[in-house]
Amino acid sequence: MTKLSVNINKVATIRNARGGNMPDVVKFALDCERFGAHGITVHPRPDERHIRYQDVRDLKPVLTEEFNIEGNPIDKFADLVCAIRPAQVTLVPDAEDVLTSNAGWDTVRHQSYLRDIVARFKECGIRVSIFVDAIPTMVEHAATTGTDRVELYTESYASGYAADRQRAIAPFVEAARVARDCGLGLNAGHDLNLDNLTFFHQQIPFLDEVSIGHALISDALYLGIEETIHRYRACLK
């Protein structure tokens, strides 16, 4: 079964807007697990505008499902991940000033750098996933770094889904096939939602994990988090 990892960054954004601890990020993560999430994802950025580094430290001892930490592996981030030792680290090449992740790694240009940082995390017993665009060459070169998985950046699929879902999914099916041929596990994330997730999963049934945050938390405003998680899980059956 494809696992659902809930990204809780937006919950931290709401908390940080007023200070204090409402909503409680740790409690929310535990509730997500209780309602059926297979994992929790956080993406601490250097400015800590949503998830804070301390949140990561607070979450690790209490979570019972897989913990996935995303981010650009600058020294501060890498040190945190190696200290926390989550189940998975997802390497994302986002600059400090971007609003949200907007591109995958150029695994050709950064092959040597990625190989070194992948090796560091794997020495700590952490599964590594590299965030890539749905381009076969990028997937193939990711495989040479020693990574365990790639995560396909799905924004282009989501933005093209309504107009022509077959055309939108085609590059992802091909990139997924290349990943499997290279022996890589496969994750996906960014702008997946209740409208487009079922078709994505039907076309790539061997997907290991999806990480979903913004859409899922937005749906929870109307449906409640328990019902929302149930609906996203239903899309992955």
The whole domain housing 8 covers 3-235
65 is catalytic: no
Query: Token digits for 36?
Result: 């059926």
Domain count of the fold of the chain = 1
Neighbours of 215 (CB within 10 A): 21
User: Catalytic one among 66, 190, 201, 209?
Assistant: 190
DSSP secondary structure string, 194-215? TTTHHHHHHH-TT--EEEE-HH
pLDDT of residue 181: 98
**Termini Cα distance of the chain:** 7
User: Catalytic one among 70, 151, 201, 209?
Assistant: 70
- The enclosing domain of 92 has a CATH number of 3.20.20.70
User: Between the CA of residue 105 and those of 22, 92, 128, 182, 205, what are the distances in Å?
Assistant: 35, 7, 14, 17, 24
201 is catalytic: no
With helix as H, strand as E and coil as C, how does 30-75 read?
Answer: HHHHHCCCCEEEECCCCCCCCCCHHHHHHHCCCCCCEEEEEECCCH
pLDDT of residue 101: 57
Q: Residue 139 burial (CB < 10 Å; 0-12/13-18/19+)?
A: buried
Helix (H, G, I), strand (E, B) or coil at 124: coil
| Contact between 214 and 10 (Cβ < 8 Å) | yes
pLDDT of residue 103: 84
pLDDT of residue 220: 98
Query: pLDDT exceeding 90 applies to what percent of the chain?
Result: 94
Query: Token digits for 143?
Result: 């495989």
pLDDT of residue 100: 54
User: Catalytic one among 38, 43, 50, 201?
Assistant: 43
pLDDT of residue 97: 55
Q: In the chain, which residues have pLDDT < 50?
A: 99
pTM (2 d.p.): 0.95
70 is catalytic: yes
Total number of residues shown for the chain: 237
